[in-house]
Amino acid sequence: MTENIDRTTINGAGGLEHTLSSDLYTDPASLERERTALFFRTWQYAGHVSQLENTGDYFTFDILGQKLFMIRDGDGEIRCFHNVCKHRAHEMVAGSGSVKLLVCPYHAWTYELDGRLRRAPNQKKVVGFEPSSICLSGVRIENFCGFLFVNLDRDAEPMDVWYPNVREELSAFVPQVGDLKPVLVNEVEERCNWKVAVENYSECYHCALCHPTFVKGVVDPECYNIMPQGYCLRHTTRAANLDRLTYEIDPDANAHATDYSSWFLWPTFSFQVYPGNVLNSYWWKPESVDRTTMYRGWHTVGGVHSDVIAGLAQQDLDTTVAEDITLVESVQRGLSSVGYDRGTLIIDPDFGVNSEHSIRALRDWALEALAHQK
């Protein structure tokens, strides 16, 4: 998938592999390039299907300044539109809520829930004005196991092509995924470039040194591996020390009841499953070249409160998340040093926990996206 990458610009003598150059993490112009070349051409997380349970339910969101909204129409279909009236560009809706029709607050142009213009005040006075020829600008959407994603690129391939087998694997690891709803979302500010945060998540070379709770109570770092799967990085390992878990599980509930796995969907979202088929998610949202908001989502059947999940979420904040904040913010400061340009990656031909082949994949995907900039 990266056949267009010129590796001579990033690889050193003897086949050494290097990171991206530091300016791609620190120069505001780099984020502006990524905005159109990368974020407007990749699958971006928007929300959960449970936010749109009834006809007319909607919520707004944005992708680096592009204002959008999702809504459930009268036929039960979930649609996504640019949040702009086709008349004089006023925003159509704000926040979240439920409507019977979409009425622009500026001049009361009124649209059906499927985006078609129903009427405009005084339209009969305009010769040739045909409401049926006007429709809100739609955006591609996919429902991925209840998680809603959009892509501003109309020609982009489907998510199952981008992330092969992930839908089936996630459903196997979380058999109840179709019944889940968000129960808790922790919002965390990270003073770093979004790629620093994503790269930190996407390797476990640092785990044994920096994440003692994670490696002692959740995973076995000795067999941890991360492998590209399309534009997905699949994290696999066996769960470690099940007797040390801070919550009880039924090991016989299903085939993956005692397993851990994670699926990072390039560029900014990840599903993660803890033993007990506990689904949690990561979503990184760039705010500026050196500021990222990370959302840690936790999900239960029906969105019902769980003391176990609340405890896990707090433990996660107090340990892994807090540890990662210290790491990524130090890296961001280091990237601004005139004493650093790019680093050498440790690529183990046998892969494994102490290899950074996953960082190489992220590097190549970023460069591939930037190479398509128009």
Q: Where are the domains of the chain?
A: 7-41+165-371, 44-151
Q: Are the CB atoms for 235 and 226 separated by under 8 Å?
A: yes
Q: Rounded distance, CA 197 to CA 268, Å?
A: 9
pLDDT at 243 (0 to 100) = 72
pTM: 0.93
pLDDT at 370 (0 to 100) = 95
pLDDT at 223 (0 to 100) = 76
- Please tell me whether the peptide bond between 267 and the residue prior to it is cis, using omega within 30 degrees of 0: yes
CB-count burial class (<10 Å; 0-12, 13-18, 19+) for 295:
middle
* CATH architecture under which domain 7-41+165-371 falls: Alpha-Beta Complex (3.90)
Quick check: do 7-41+165-371 and 44-151 share a fold?
no
What is the biggest distance separating any 2 CA atoms in the chain, rounded to whole angstroms?
76
* CATH architecture under which domain 44-151 falls: 3-layer Sandwich (2.102)
Q: Rounded distance, CA 47 to CA 238, Å?
A: 30
Mean pLDDT by runs of 10 across the 374 residues of the chain is 41 73 97 97 98 98 98 98 98 98 98 98 95 97 98 97 98 96 97 97 76 66 85 85 77 88 97 94 98 98 96 92 95 96 91 87 96 74
pLDDT at 219 (0 to 100) = 66
